[in-house]
Structure 1
Amino acid sequence: KATTEMPTPRPPRRTAAPAPAAAATATPPPQRWRRPGKTISKGHRNYHLMLNLQLGIRHAVGKSAAKPMRELSRADFDPREKFWTRFPPAGSKTTPPHSSSEFRWKDYCPMVFRHMRKLFAVDPADYMLAICGDDALRELSSPGKSGSFFYLTQDERLMIKTVKKSEVKLLIRMLPSYHKHVKRYKNSLITRFYGVHSVKPYGGQKVRFIVMGNLFCSEHRIHRRYDLKGSSYGRKSDRFEEETGDATTLKDLDLNFAFRMQRPLYKELHEQLRRDCAFLESEGIMDYSLLVGVHFCDDIVPASKMALSTFTTSPATLNVSLSEKSRQLQLQVHF
């Protein structure tokens, strides 16, 4: 059962404040802290995969933008609604020449994801520039527990995750209900999906991937990242406290301070979480968690008040809507 406050084992030294994520079309200001991941430059093992991905995204977005937007039909959600494009090195009538080897590109339900990007206020030009611009993608240091690899755009607005065939099938299967849910509840905290694609190099292995919004894109530094499942079994990081950094993902038992919110905002957030969890349950999904990003505001709250709460909202923020306030929170589905 969710409550507005959790026990505080020990008084924290700093106060936490919300770190609202930047809008999809806005570029965050220059950061003064170290960016996560390693830039994929020439010689990197996934350099050509990145080039293929960028060529495919540029082609897919440009191709869809040339067509007028129309209402979605049932056929657009059909799992068989996917399109192959061949990319020979010399180029073709529809594809540009490139320095990589020949590959095939596949788009899954492109019209649906075009509507989804519009629904999430993602500008097509900004989307294409973030992935396909002059800046290379960054690969996170290690794959996730599932074996997937994660890539970030340089502006950190978008994240690309490699997935298995079964995971693509699951997302495409739930796409009609997912679209209906996020369209009805604009403040949904479920991961925002922007596209599903695959790359098949000539004579190589097919790589499937999902493009989604990056929760931790913010003008504020994210000092702590938590992956919360509401469980205590195995829910503690294997890192010592002194080894914990900005990029470390902590778990339920690592959370040692309270979050306190204004009652109206808390009720709105709690209700949206209930709706989102009900949706995931209806889709037969059990493995998901709540991601939380925390930004500490030093020297703002008097020391005498620090033990009472590490997440506060001032009277000036009472009128902030859930959509503006809660994008530091996200329900992440683990396929």
Structure 2
Amino acid sequence: MSLNEQMEMTGEGTRPHSRAAKRCLWGGLRQQWRLLGLFEISPQHEFYDLTCMMKEGLQAAVQNTIDNPPPDELSEEDFEMEVTQIHESFRMETFAGPVFAWLRRSLGMSERDYQQSLATTQGCYLQFISNSKSKADFFLTNDKRFFLKTQNKREVKFLLSNLKIYLEHLERYPHSLLVKFLGVHRIKIPRQRKKYFIVMQSVFFPDERIEARYDIKGCEISRWTNPAPEGSQVIVVLKDLNFEGKQITLEQQRPWLIRQMEIDTAFLQRLNVLDYSLLLAHQPLHRDERAMGLSFASVIMRTTKSVNPGCSPAHSSHASVPGAVLEEESTLLVAQVDRATARCRVMETYHEDGLRQDPADGEASVTDPGLRELLAQNRRLLPSTKNPLHVIDGRELRYFVGIIDIFTVYGFRKKLEHLWKRLRYPGQSFSTISPPAYAQRICQWVQGHSQ
């Protein structure tokens, strides 16, 4: 069935019984697929028409940014821009397009690659059926690189109203664990409700070898999920209580993780939000991956990625990557390998004007204020892998870590919910607490479950 034929099913003249038959067919399949977690959206799927529209709309929206590249410096107009593109059976609006194109570029993403992932005709989108209480629908691109999630109008307005300080946070802390939002759109279909959706970078990418996935909130009420049967291909995202008795083993990188959690949750506290999740997954490191991480060539490549993970615009006169440094201020991450323990120690050094080092004790002190600011950015030596901002390698395991779902504001209704849960669950921990308490608790969870 062609794309136009699929779109005509949503327009005038659609026979009622064709929709009913489609829902009936999907209803039967849904029972079979409910536990699978992730599956292709085929032509019989209830969201096939919608995802076809998403693909067509995103193809045109990204083409617009290819034809009109974002400026090196963003303006107020860029944050407020709304572009409407008219298609045969729907309209799609893109919000703050230049801003998100700027962010994608700063993360080293090619617009052509981004367009190819979102709008390829070589594969269907995938639906992820989560155990979340949210009414949102979750989709993945066929290569599993990007998440598309439906949002309500309030959540979209919240993101757009805080977009500037979100970018400022990523500029100041370029290795932030916050999920990277890459686009905000709205589809208008005649005689149907408007559908808002956002595009995000997937924290769990690449996921071919991931063994376990967790959604962590740092509390205990409703924080257990029945695991998939052993040997099953079912994808289940587990929760806090499933992780009890386990540890995130990072060794030298543990202080970085704890510090970055404190930085990112302080930002979310500033936004007055709660109920966000720490996504966590792990997979075993192969022997060659562990050895590669210590090789000289790998350290050089990782150093380059850590200092400048994106691709600078051809004619940009300043650093384009959030928090990236100019060449004359560049940081060099030097690795020292202890061959007896196979451990790698990384030290940061700078040009002579900014660093004073005493050869006797090996201690280095930064005297330049700008370089002190770079140290405050809490950078780390990024792994030589895809999706490096959300990947942390331990001794035996590779961890995928990111913070998602940052739209729940601690308003009047949440305060009432907090009071009710205090009565309902005395002496137990639950998710609805004040933003300062929430931030402190999830940071304490990381401290208590890492080594």
Give the TM-score category using the shorter length: 0.7 to 0.9
Contact 2:130 2:237 in 1 (8 A): no
Alpha-carbon distance in structure 2 between the residues aligned to 1:248 and 1:220: 15
* Alpha-carbon offset, residue 270 of structure 1: 1.4
Alignment check: 8 A CA contact 1:216 1:293 kept = yes
| 1:210-263 Cα distance to aligned partner (Å, 9 max, x none) | 100111112651111111112223322245775986621111111131222223
Q: Establish whether residue 261 from structure 1 lines up as the match of residue 272 from structure 2.
A: no
8 Å Cα contact 1:159/1:213 also seen in 2: yes
Q: Which structure: larger Rg?
A: 2
* Aligned residue in 1 for 2:318: none
Distance 1:200 1:110 in 2: 18
CA contact (8 A) 1:287 1:333 kept: yes
- Note the C-alpha offset of 1:318: 4.7
Q: Could you say if the C-alpha distance between residues 154 and 215 of structure 1 is closer, same or farther in structure 2, counting changes exceeding 3 Å?
A: same
Sequence identity percentage: 29
Q: What do you get for the CA RMSD once the two structures are aligned?
A: 2.6
Aligned mate of 1:184, from 150, 154, 172: 172
Counterparts of residues 53-72 of structure 1 (less than 5 Å) = 53-70=54-71, 71-72=73-74
Greater shift in the superposed pair: 291-300 or 227-236: 291-300
- 2:274 is the alignment partner of 1:286: yes
Look up the match of 1:43: 44
1:249 counterpart = 2:250: no
Q: Which has the higher contact order (CA 8 A, sep 6+)?
A: 1
| 1:111-154 C-alpha deviation (Å, 9 max, x unpaired) | 11011111221111111111111211111235742111111111
**Change in 2 beyond 3 A, CA 1:231/1:245:** farther
The one-letter code matched in structure 2 to 1:141 is I
Aligned 1:9-48 pairs, distance under 5 A:
37-48=38-49
Among 95, 100, 110, the alignment partner of 1:123 is 110
Task: For residue 101 of structure 2, give the secondary structure of its aligned residue in structure 1.
Answer: helix
In 2: Cα distance, 1:43 partner to 1:334 partner: 33
- What TM-score does the superposition give when structure 1 sets the normalisation length? 0.74
TM-superposed CA distance for 1:296, in Å, is 4.0
Residue number among 75, 78, 83 corresponding to 2:77 in the alignment: 75
**Offset at residue 105 of structure 1 (A):** 0.6
Structure 1 position 333, deviation (Å) = 2.3
The one-letter code matched in structure 2 to 1:74 is E
Q: Which of 118, 142, 147 is matched with 1:154 structurally?
A: 142
CA 1:224–1:244 in structure 2 vs 1: closer, same or farther (change >3 Å)? farther
Q: C-alpha deviations, 1:71-125, integer Å up to 9, x for none?
A: 20122223xx21222212xxxxxxxxxxxxx101110110110111112211111
Matches within 5 A, 1:195-274: 195-218=183-206, 220-239=208-227, 247-255=235-243, 256-263=245-252, 265-274=253-262
Provide, for residues 172-212 of structure 1, a one-character-per-residue CA deviation record: whole Å limited to 9, x for no partner.
11100001111221110001111000111122221110100
Contact 1:225/1:246 (<8 A) preserved = no
Tell me if structure 1 keeps the 8 A contact 2:138–2:148.
Answer: yes
Alignment check: 8 A CA contact 1:223 1:245 kept: no
Q: Is the 8 A contact 2:78 2:99 kept in 1?
A: yes
- Distance of 2:208 and 2:44 partners within structure 1: 33
* Contact kept in structure 1, 2:55 and 2:118, CA below 8 Å: yes
- Cα distance in 1 for partners of 2:280, 2:219 equals 15
SS of aligned partner of 1:323: coil
Cα 1:184–1:278 shift into 2, 3 Å: same
Partner Cα separation in structure 2 for residue 181 and residue 316 of structure 1: 32
How many correspondences in the alignment? 272
* Structure 2 residue ranges without an equivalent (≥5): 1-35, 289-340, 347-378, 392-399, 408-451
In the TM superposition, 1:82-97 aligns within 5 A as: 82-88=82-88
Q: Tell me which protein shows more helix as a share of its residues.
A: 2
TM-score norm. by structure 2 comes to: 0.56
Structure 1 unmatched ranges of 5 or more: 1-34, 89-101, 301-313
Which amino acid in structure 2 is aligned with residue 69 of structure 1?
Answer: P
